[in-house]
Amino acid sequence: MEIEVTLKLGDAAVVKVRGEGQAEVIEMASFFQELPTACPICSSPVQFTCRHPKGYDYYGMRCTGRPSHETTFGAHREGGTLFYKSSEPWTAFQPGSWPAEAESEPARSEAPRGRALRPAAAGNAR
């Protein structure tokens, strides 16, 4: 028997969850019901986000406040479903700060080359 449940997420979204049994519907619905409807830092409305930099998939939420705050979802290893990491704090959104978007800096085995600093003369020290 197919079951359908309609959930209202804050003021902006409605989600319909369908499943073959009660357990399946409750599991899917619980993900959406765990999500905050407002930013836990500034109380602004939140929206879903997704990005796919360099072949990686990132899903999460970001608030519409200024400055904007965000969080990312975790992904179950099996089944491909997402989960809300409620124990992780929301952070200030910084474009380009997602792990796969940032260019990794090459490791250096030696100190940077440049002008050597000379100690100040004894009479000029402050």
Q: Is the pTM of this model over 0.75?
A: no
Write down the H helix ranges in 1-126: 22-34
In tens, the pLDDT along 73-85 reads 999 998 888 999 9
Model pLDDT, residue 96: 67
Tokens of 80: 């491909």
In tens, the pLDDT along 9-49 reads 877 789 999 999 999 999 999 999 999 999 999 999 999 99
In tens, the pLDDT along 97-126 reads 655 444 433 344 444 444 444 444 555 544
Do 30 and 76 share a domain, yes or no? no
Residue 79 lies inside a defined structural domain of this protein: yes
Q: Residue 45 in 3-state DSSP?
A: strand
Do 72 and 87 share a domain, yes or no? yes
Do 59 and 92 share a domain, yes or no? yes
Show the domain range for 9: 1-34
Q: How far apart are CA 31 and CA 49, in angstroms?
A: 16
Do 15 and 55 share a domain, yes or no? no
Instruction: Confirm if 123 and 103 have CB atoms less than 8 A apart.
Output: no
Model pLDDT, residue 38: 92
Q: Residue 32 in 3-state DSSP?
A: helix
